[in-house]
Amino acid sequence: MTRPWNDQRLDIARKVAAAPDLFLVAEAGGRVIGTVMAGYDGHRGWMNYPAVSPAFRRRCRGRALLTEAERRLLRIGCPKVNIQMRVDNPDAVGFYRGIESEPEGVICLGKQLVPDLGWEGRE
C-alpha cells in the first residue's frame, strides 16, 4: 500500500484534520489491521486505498470497513462511491467485484499540490 514518496503520517494527519469521522481504522489485539480513508465532494464519495492486513483477509474485516464507510457517506447525503486502488492489486479488484463494484472505464490522474518530502524522487 505504501510508496516511498508518500509520508503516511502526514497523510493521516491531514485526513484527521479534514474529516476524522471518515477515517476508519480496524484493530485486533491492539494492532492496526485495516484502514480506509473516505471522503465526499458533494458529487460522489471516495474510498481511498482500503486495506486489510494479509493475516486478517477473508474474515469480513474489509467488508466491515467498507460497509461502515458507506453508512457514514450515506448519512451525509452521498449517492455514489468510487473506490481508489492500485492497478497492480488484482486481489483487491476481485474483492470489490464481489461486493457489487464494477470498473467504470475512467482514468485517475494525480497532481501534487504540496511537495511532500520524497515526492521529487517518485518514479
Q: Which domains does the chain have, with CATH numbers?
A: 16-100 (3.40.630.30)
Instruction: Judge whether residue 41 has pLDDT over 70.
Output: yes
User: What is this structure's pTM?
Assistant: 0.75
Number of residues assigned to the chain: 123
Instruction: Judge whether residue 94 has pLDDT over 80.
Output: no
Instruction: Judge whether residue 42 has pLDDT over 90.
Output: yes
**Average pLDDT in the chain:** 81
Q: Are 69 and 38 in contact (CB under 8 A)?
A: yes
pLDDT confidence tier of residue 110, bands split at 50, 70 and 90: confident
Contacts of residue 108, defined as CB under 8 A and 6 or more positions apart, other chains included, come to 84
